[in-house]
Chains A and B, each alone.
Chain A
Amino acid sequence: MKLKSLLYIFNPAKRADDALQKVEGAAPSQSYWMMVRKQLGKNKLAVYCLRVIYLLIALALFADLLANEKPLACSYNNHTYFPIFRAYAVNMGIAEWPTELQNVEWKKLNYNWSVFPPIPYLPGNIDEANVHSVSPFATQQVKSTRWRHWLGTDELGHDIFAAMIYGTRIALLVGVVSMSIATLIGLMLGALAGYFGDDRLKVSRIGLIFNALFFVLAVFYAFGVRSYILSDALAGSSLLFFVQVLFSLLIFLAVMAAGNLLALPFNRLPFFGKKISIPIDIIVSRIIEVMISIPTLFLIIAIVAIAKPSLMLVMLVIGATTWTGIARFVRAELLRIRNLEYIEAAHALGYSEMRTIFRHALPNAMSPVLIAVAFGIASAILTEATLSFLGIGVPADTLTWGALLSEARSKPTAWWLAIFPGIAIFITVTVYNLLGEGLTDAMDPRLRK
């Protein structure tokens, strides 16, 4: 109480505020997002879903500690080691394996003592004693219950539980990365179409010509000249490909910027300098129509089938084909917002278009985007599972949930190959869908009490 009255000294206005609140019994003027959070907190189902999502994220982050062939901690030749953590350090290049632990079979070592992770297998490990899909209930050829395959094994003797845990990592990664890509594209195009509409994007004639010309040049220098480098990178690691794509995009942007700079001096000319408006809304709407007219799965399979299997590519393609939902939401929202008075005020204050869009218009259009992202993650995970199920896109040695499920097709008696990954996909998709639903409700002003 004393502290509070002390605070009033520094901020007398707050006293009035608090007093007013006491009288009205109302909440303090809270931000929109706080309100949404509070509203979401009231929705028990959504809260549970959030918890499940946290759990899934934890599973994905700590997969190495939950299922691994190496012990968490052990004592070998009277030295204490923490092999899993050491493996991280070795991967980062900080530490090295001691000679006695180089290329060892971790399970066959004679430890003084050892603590193994709950699932003492990696998804890639092959248990030769338990090949040909051993049921979780059947007698398994294991040393003790500690080494049991709790969810059975598949045809090659992979532990299903370990594969399930690492599958979480891939599923969430696909969901988040592909949705980030989709959000980026959707926000950009949606904002362009919605904010500028058909009448507000004005470019001088020479600017238009230069942009078209330099667009061709930019594609040529960013992707045409680098096509061999890019295709080599695609065959290599995902990270390398990502870096190369990023580099290409940078070149693209640089060329476009150069084109626009070159166009500047011509803007003074009488004919070329005349401003014409670009019907950007029509253009974007047509692109969206094209995208939704092609069955998405056809398109994804077509693109994925012609390239070498790569998880990065799958995420890129899913992202690049599913942005239409977000773009439509943002477009609709910005079409509404652009006519509001505060945008006019921003114009009157002389703010640049960029600043008005990014600082003032877009933040107020974010709520439908958030909903679309939640639903989008669910559908991205489902799409990846479908692709893995069909056996395309994801490399064959990556055991994803969908890949496990497809094994059940060739072996119909192995129900555990179908049920566990299926439930995992189902739960993940459901929680994201329910979260999307909860967000929709939380942001609906009609439902606010």
Chain B
Amino acid sequence: MLKYIVKRIFIFIPTLIAISLITFVIGINAPGDPVETILSKQQGEGQSVKGLADESAYISMRHKLGLDLPLFYFSITNSTSPDTLYRIAKTDVRDNLAHLAFIYGSWPNVAQYYSAIKQFENHLNIIKPDSSNAENLNKAKAAVSVLYTNYEQDKIATLLKKLDTVISIRTNSLELVSVNFNAVKEAEKNIIDNKSSFSKYIPVIHWYGFRNQYHHWLVNFMRGDFGISYQDMRPVGPIIWDAMKWTMGISFISILLAYFIAIPIGVKAAVNKGSRGEKITTSGLFMLYSLPNFWIATMLIIFFCGGDWFSWFPAPGAAPIPTDAPFMYHVTQGLYRLILPLICWTYTSLAFISRQMRGGMLNVIGQDYIRTAQAKGLSENVVIWKHAFRNSLLPVITLFANVFPLLLSGSVVIEEIFSIPGMGQVSYNALIANDYPVVFADTMFAALLTLFGTLVADILYAMVDPRISFTKATA
């Protein structure tokens, strides 16, 4: 048994690595720049990062988050994309340069163009603005910052033309930078003149070694360091832990409730097969199974939480329970507020489990040994509960493994509607905000829990059914 469990846990490892890779691939494709998000949050909403002082802040934050490393152990790209591309700090500039190189097929030329713009910008920044040139200087700076993120030839051409007119005005000091500007123009001309359209079709492998984002994340994850959230710079561990307490607690109560209600219903439905009551119960359960839980949640809120009808329950997201309240008040109030979410959480799995229970029970009742038991003259109750029930419990127990991921998925919507700060809401908010450290950790934990659930179900299966043995060839 122990050997089997250890073996199973070893099989988990490749699965978990695959899951981490999937989340990682999704994460690196997310739009937006986390560094910029954090910095603009620190400086106050709505401000974007500009200027030299901010650039160094950007670079140090990028380093702190570990985003200045290559993404993976290796990369397979086309030959226009250099292996040092990740060193360019700003995401949008980096993407734009890669695009330019892709179109014109020569990275050295693009790099020259980039450094020419950079030089030009630096010189622009040195010029002291005064009344004669302030307007033109700002125009020029704005045009340069747009130049960083443009790859279309005609757009670059218009920008350059615009800069040309601004700089060639003799009355201001801008002509000092005309040398640098000419360098930019030449670099641009060089890119276009030396276009090669074939180099993008040549694949190249770059090897980066272990100093990469994925490796760092994986190693830290195994050490128990899940990184920091991009949303509020809190460490991810406590965030997940707080959320997990909610979701696990509610899921646990809900699974218990579901099993306690579903099993008797399923058994009764199977025993009284064909009766009118059974038909109503079965079809009722079926409908329950098809009811979308977000609809039920919305309806419950509309009809029972204030609104125009009954206000039996507080509206979701109501004021928290005061912390100095007596303990029992906490418990009763907490449970009271959880009634509606629990209903939504439970009914789907309840319908699912009882339908399975009924099916399993029907299978068993058809068996010969039940007829034997009845023929022996055993009472109906003994036959049902002692002979039939115990054997049909088997498949229902393993359902635990199926119900659990269902609950986790369901938690997204229900927690969102009832504003419960559980795993579902946390991951949903993190996904919407592209807060990938949280998403990574969340998905990994959800997957771990699911795998663990499958393992527990298998072990339970073995404990209930003596015929199953894991010591022989099973996997």
Complex CA gap A419/B99 in Å reads 49
A298 with B443: CB separation less than 8 A: yes
User: Nearest-CB distance from A338 to chain B (Å)?
Assistant: 20
Q: Which of B1-60 contact A (CB under 8 A)?
A: 14-15, 18-19, 22-23, 26, 29-31
Complex CA distance for A298 and B410, rounded to whole angstroms: 10
* Cα separation A315 to B29 with both chains bound (whole Å): 19
Does A418 lie within 8 Å of B299, measured CB to CB?
yes
* A residues near B302, Cβ cutoff 8 Å: 408, 412-413, 415, 418
Interface pair B15/A293, CB less than 8 Å apart: yes
> Which of B26, B301, B305, B307 is in CB contact (< 8 Å) with A302?
B26
A254 CB–B CB distance under 8 Å: no
Is the CB–CB distance between B408 and A295 below 8 Å?
Answer: yes
A264-302 Cβ-contact flags toward B at 8 Å (1 or 0): 000000000000000000000011011011111111011
- With the chains together, A412 CA to B200 CA distance in Å? 55
Q: Does A303 contact B (CB under 8 A)?
A: yes
Interface string of B384-416 (1 = CB under 8 A from A): 000000000000000000000100111011001
A445 to B416, CA, bound (A): 45
Interface residue? B451 (CB, 8 A) = yes
A434 close to B (CB within 8 Å)? yes
Nearest-CB residue, chain A, relative to B28: A306
- Which residue of A216, A382, A409, A434 is within 8 Å of B292 (Cβ)? A382
Q: Which of A221, A298, A389 contacts B446 (CB 8 A)?
A: A298
Asked whether any CB of chain A lies closer than 8 Å to the CB of B434, the reply is yes
| A303–B443 CA distance with the chains assembled, in angstroms | 13
B31 touches A422 (CB 8 A): no
Q: Tell yes or no: A442 within 8 A of B by CB.
A: no
Shortest distance in angstroms between A283's beta carbon and chain B's nearest beta carbon?
A: 11
Query: How many angstroms between the C-alpha atoms of A434 and B447 in the bound complex?
Result: 31
A101 to chain B, nearest CB (A): 39
Residue of B14, B77, B291, B442 touching A426 (CB-CB under 8 A): B291
- By a CB distance below 8 angstroms, the chain B residues around A127 are none
* Distance between A433 CB and nearest chain B CB, rounded to angstroms: 5
* Size class of the A contact interface (CB-based, 8 Å): 35 or more
Bound together, the chains give a CA A309 to CA B301 distance in angstroms of: 28
Q: Is the CB of B409 within 8 A of A422?
A: no
Binding site for A on B (CB under 8 A): 14-15, 18-19, 22-23, 26, 29-31, 76-78, 99, 102, 200-201, 203, 286-287, 289-292, 294-295, 298-299, 301-303, 305-308, 405, 408-410, 412-413, 416-417, 427-428, 431-432, 434, 439, 442-443, 446-447, 450-451
Can you report 30 A-B residue pairs in the complex whose CB atoms are below 8 A from each other?
Answer: A221-B201, A225-B200, A286-B15, A286-B18, A293-B19, A293-B447, A293-B450, A294-B450, A295-B409, A298-B431, A298-B443, A298-B446, A306-B30, A378-B290, A382-B292, A385-B292, A386-B292, A386-B413, A390-B428, A412-B302, A413-B302, A418-B295, A422-B292, A426-B287, A426-B290, A426-B295, A429-B290, A429-B292, A433-B289, A434-B286
Besides A301-B428, A418-B299, 20 new A-B residue pairs in contact (Cβ under 8 A), listed by A number = A220-B76, A221-B201, A224-B78, A225-B200, A225-B201, A293-B447, A293-B451, A294-B22, A297-B409, A297-B412, A302-B23, A306-B29, A390-B416, A412-B305, A412-B306, A412-B307, A422-B299, A425-B292, A425-B295, A430-B287
